[in-house]
Each structure stands twice: as structure tokens, then as C-alpha cells.
């Protein structure tokens, strides 16, 4: 498969940003976030193969116009980072790429090559381009007759998972003609003002550059129900879907790491959490910016068992709610500084097996409709950090979960053959066998 770039342009907001909004202040959480792009790819089938070229031109025009209209409301994302305090909102615009690929979307979905999916993204993984250039990059890749892939990258400097979801919902609503139903709120810096972080510059995190591999796992809803039943205990009587799946992945990954190293190191699982619902009073989900923190679950050197891991995951959530959130609201800078120092210490320690979890299983990404129906598949593929796990809902919408797991080559060799794991998960199943492609609706064609 070869993806050919056919056009590049800058999409600016369809109306100018008022002068009084030209300087946007970052929050304390934004200051600490890296200027890397968060990747997502949406795959949409096309029911009209007879007039494919004409339809592709329509889709491209519609995407760019609706993006320009969306940027008028999400104006900081059309700006440029000035420094670690400010975004210059002078309507510089966002990068938009159009591409063609001489194969069928159905071929991609039938035989998924996770590494090849990066060609549908308009940036290199782990790129820091957003520190000086576009905060959003978009690539529309049109397949030979049967669909389109929309690859999106939003700079982590201003977006966490919730902001990513809000922007996509806003763009989708605009494309459907109801853009005023999604209104972003830009008040995070008033709640968590930026600070001078010069004392923290010496604490930069150095992630492992070890060769890693990526695998996709699908946990069907009935399997998750069975997994929840065996992970339940008096301490956690009703594990969540994510807790049960996370515990199993953590156990199998840690078993693989211990088998290869022959050392019983303790392990730490760090999971990102949305602060909007934790703060008192809660913040609306459409509050823009980085408003996340990390909860930790720890496993000592003893034998690993699923119920114990679930208890540790739940205990980490409870400790976070009781301790960190109160500290955060009393003195945000002190709380964040202390937590950051602890994280750096753990990262630098070679005596801990560290795992990072991103859970996006409750985000409605399969509702993102640009005018021709819902996607047939959505993936958050990308990133190459060792011991990273990403969860999101599968397209069936029945409670199934799709997991992307990144481990070292040696650990993955053992992990993907673990019998306990494979009793509950399918390894990279074909998307067409699970659910045939649904053709696009004619809404876009009739509206242009």
C-alpha cells in the first residue's frame, strides 16, 4: 500500500478572531503538557462507487469548509504557540492534507497492518511540530472507490482526551449544520493560572527508546462479563469493564516482563483521569485544555492474581479522589509539583516495571458523522512508547473493548501467546468478519 499526497493547504477560520481574543493564556496543566500530536483515524465506507471521483471532491470540499467554520469557535487551535504562557490567536490556520491510495478500504479492514496505518496520519509519530506550527493537522485519504480515512492530530499542548472529543463533536455538528450545539469553554487558565516552571526544567522525562511492537486486542462483551465475574471480590464487588480488562493486560504483560528479566520487580500502573468530574463543583466536559491527572496502582514483588490487581486499581482511584483532588484545589501548583517530582523519580528508577494506561472507552467517537454516516472503524493507533496500553470502545457498541498494547519485542513474544489472555481476547480480528462495512448515507451528496 502506498499513500500519495496530492494537495496541501492551510485552512483558516471562516471569520476572523476578534482583537480582544488574539492572546490566549495557557493553564498550569497546559504548560506541563508536551507539544506532540494525539493521533486518531476515522474510516468511512462509500456506497457510491460509480461516481467516486466526484464524491471524493465533494467530501473534501465539505470537510474543509466545515473545518474552517469550526475553527471560528475553537479559535486558539488555529493559532500558534508563542511561549509556555501564551497562544497567539492570529488565525494562522491548520494544516490540511489530501491523499489518494490505490487500494480498497475493505482490503485494509480485512487484513489490518497496524504499522501501515501511520500513513493515514499527516505527521510523524512523536513529532513536536506543534511547538512551532499548526496545533491541528488533518489528512483525508481517499481509497479506490470504497471510502475515505480521516486522520487527525491535535496538539497535546492544549488538548486532553475530553478536549479532543469536544473538538471532534463540534466539527461533526458543524458538518451536519448544527454547529451551535457544541460550545467550547475557555476558562481553564482562570481556574489554574500559569506559573513560572523554571524550577522544573531539570526534571524532563526520558522515555525508553527500546524497540517496541504494537498489538490490537478485542474483548467481546460476553468475555468481559466473564472476566468481571472472576475479578470480583469482597473488596471490589462489581469491577468496571475497564478495570477487568486492564487487570488482565497488566497481569499478562508483567508475567512476560518477569519471565524475560528473571527478576521480580514491583510494578506501577499509571492511568490518566479526567479532572472535570472530580473537581468540586464539577467542570463542564466542554471545558477546553489539559485537565487531567494520573492515578497509580502498585503491585509488589509477590505473586500476581487478578482480584488483587483490580483492588489495587480501585484503591488508586479512591486515594486520588480523597487526597490529590483536595490538594489540587487548595494549592494547585504545590500539588502538581509534588506529583511531578514523584513521577520523575519513578520513571528514573530501574527497580520498577512501569505501565501507562490511556482509557478512552467512554468517548463517543463512533458518533462522529461529517455528513455521510458514522465511521465503520476508529483507531487511536500511533505512539511507540514502551509499556503503553490504550483502551476504547469497539464499533459494535455493545460494551466490547478494543485495546492497543505496546511492549518490547521480547515481552510481546510471550504476551501475545499467553493462554489466559487469549481465553478472553481475540488478537487482531478482521473488522469485516466482525461487522461488514456500512455504506455512507447520501446526506452529503444531497446537501451540496
Task: State the Cα–Cα distance between residues 93 and 54, nearest whole angstrom.
Answer: 27
Cβ neighbors of 84 (< 8 A, separation 6 or more) are: 26, 31, 194, 197
Residue 216 burial (CB count, 10 A) = 18
Rg of the chain over Cα atoms, rounded to whole angstroms, equals 22
E strand or H helix at 327, and its extent? helix 325-330
Determine what percent of the chain is predicted with pLDDT higher than 90.
66
- pLDDT tens per residue across span 357-398: 999 988 889 999 999 899 999 998 766 689 999 999 998 889
Find, among 36, 205, 38, the residue nearest to 133 by Cα: 36
Residue 443 pLDDT grade (very low, low, confident, very high; cuts 50, 70, 90): very low
Residue with cell 467512554: 362
- Tell me the HSE value of 172 on the side-chain side, using a 13 A CA sphere: 18
CATH homologous superfamily of domain 209-434?
Chloramphenicol acetyltransferase-like domain (3.30.559.10)
Which one is catalytic: 30, 160, 369, 393?
Answer: 369
Q: What is the mean pLDDT of residues 402-414?
A: 96
The CA-based diameter of the chain, rounded to the nearest angstrom, is: 63
- pLDDT tens per residue across span 145-184: 779 999 999 999 999 999 999 999 999 999 999 988 999 9
Which cell goes with 16? 476572523
Q: What is the mean pLDDT of residues 110-127?
A: 89
* Pair 299, 312: CB distance under 8 Å: yes
Fold held by 3-198+440-447: Chloramphenicol Acetyltransferase (3.30.559)
E strand or H helix at 268, and its extent? strand 267-274
Task: State the Cα–Cα distance between residues 134 and 277, nearest whole angstrom.
Answer: 30
Active-site annotation holds for 133: no
Q: Does 204 have pLDDT greater than 60?
A: no
Burial of 332 (0-12, 13-18, 19+ CB in 10 A): middle
Active-site annotation holds for 48: no
Residue 200: the pLDDT is 61
E strand or H helix at 404, and its extent? strand 401-408
Residues of the chain with CATH 3.30.559.10: 3-198+440-447, 209-434
Residue 209 pLDDT grade (very low, low, confident, very high; cuts 50, 70, 90): low
Residue 125 pLDDT grade (very low, low, confident, very high; cuts 50, 70, 90): confident
Among 135-139, 247-251, 361-365, the minimum mean pLDDT is found in 361-365
- pLDDT tens per residue across span 41-83: 999 998 555 445 667 888 999 999 999 999 999 999 999 999 9
Residue 185: the pLDDT is 97
What global pTM score does this model have?
Answer: 0.92
Which one is catalytic: 62, 156, 160, 393?
Answer: 156
Q: Does 314 have pLDDT greater than 60?
A: yes
Q: Does 412 have pLDDT greater than 80?
A: yes
Amino acid at each position: 500500500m502506498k499513500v500519495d499526497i496530492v494537495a496541501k493547504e492551510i485552512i483558516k477560520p471562516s471569520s476572523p478572531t476578534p482583537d480582544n481574543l488574539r492572546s490566549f493564556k495557557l493553564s498550569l496543566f497546559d504548560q506541563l503538557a508536551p507539544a506532540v500530536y494525539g493521533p486518531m483515524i476515522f474510516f468511512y465506507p462509500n456506497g457510491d462507487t460509480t461516481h467516486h471521483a466526484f464524491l471524493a471532491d465533494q467530501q473534501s470540499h465539505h470537510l474543509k469548509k466545515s473545518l474552517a467554520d469550526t475553527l471560528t469557535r475553537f479559535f486558539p487551535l488555529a493559532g500558534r504557540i508563542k511561549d509556555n504562557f501564551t497562544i497567539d490567536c492570529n488565525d494562522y490556520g491548520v494544516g490540511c492534507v489530501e491523499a489518494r491510495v490505490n487500494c480498497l478500504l475493505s482490503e485494509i479492514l480485512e487484513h489490518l497492518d497496524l504499522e501501515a496505518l501511520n500513513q493515514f496520519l499527516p505527521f510523524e509519530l512523536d513529532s513536536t511540530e506543534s511547538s512551532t506550527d499548526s496545533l491541528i493537522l488533518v489528512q483525508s485519504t481517499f481509497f479506490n472507490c470504497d471510502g475515505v480515512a480521516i486522520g487527525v492530530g491535535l496538539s497535546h499542548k492544549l488538548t486532553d482526551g475530553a478536549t479532543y472529543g469536544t473538538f471532534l463533536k463540534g466539527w461533526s455538528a458543524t458538518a451536519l449544520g448544527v454547529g451551535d450545539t457544541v460550545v467550547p469553554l475557555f476558562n481553564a487558565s482562570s481556574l489554574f493560572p500559569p506559573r513560572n516552571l523554571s524550577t522544573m526544567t531539570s526534571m524532563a522525562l526520558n522515555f525508553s527508546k527500546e524497540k517496541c511492537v504494537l498489538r490490537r486486542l478485542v474483548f467481546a462483551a460476553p468475555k468481559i462479563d466473564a472476566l468481571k465475574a472472576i475479578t470480583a471480590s469482597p473488596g471490589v464487588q462489581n469491577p468496571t469493564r475497564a478495570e477487568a480488562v486492564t487487570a488482565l493486560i497488566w497481569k499478562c504483560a508483567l508475567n512476560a516482563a518477569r519471565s524475560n528479566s528473571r527478576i521480580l520487580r514491583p510494578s506501577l500502573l499509571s492511568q490518566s483521569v479526567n479532572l472535570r468530574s472530580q473537581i468540586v463543583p464539577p467542570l463542564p466536559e466542554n471545558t477546553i485544555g489539559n485537565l487531567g491527572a494520573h492515578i497509580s496502582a502498585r503491585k509488589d514483588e509477590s505473586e500476581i492474581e487478578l482480584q488483587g490487581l483490580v483492588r489495587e486499581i480501585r484503591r488508586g482511584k479512591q486515594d486520588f479522589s480523597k487526597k490529590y483532588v483536595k490538594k489540587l484545589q487548595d494549592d494547585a501548583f504545590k500539588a502538581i509539583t509534588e506529583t511531578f517530582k514523584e513521577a520523575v523519580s519513578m520513571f528514573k528508577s530501574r527497580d520498577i516495571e512501569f505501565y501507562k494506561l490511556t482509557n478512552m472507552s467512554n468517548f463517543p467517537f463512533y458518533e462522529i458523522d461529517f455528513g455521510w454516516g458514522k465511521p465503520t472503524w476508529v483507531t487511536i493507533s500511533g505512539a511507540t512508547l514502551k509499556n503503553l496500553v490504550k483502551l476504547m470502545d469497539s464499533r459494535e457498541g455493545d460494551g466490547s473493548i478494543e485495546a492497543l498494547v505496546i511492549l518490547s519485542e521480547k515481552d510481546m513474544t510471550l504476551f501475545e501467546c499467553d493462554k489466559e489472555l487469549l481465553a478472553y481476547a481475540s488478537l487482531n480480528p478482521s473488522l469485516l468478519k466482525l461487522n461488514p462495512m456500512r455504506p455512507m448515507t447520501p446526506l452529503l451528496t444531497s446537501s451540496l
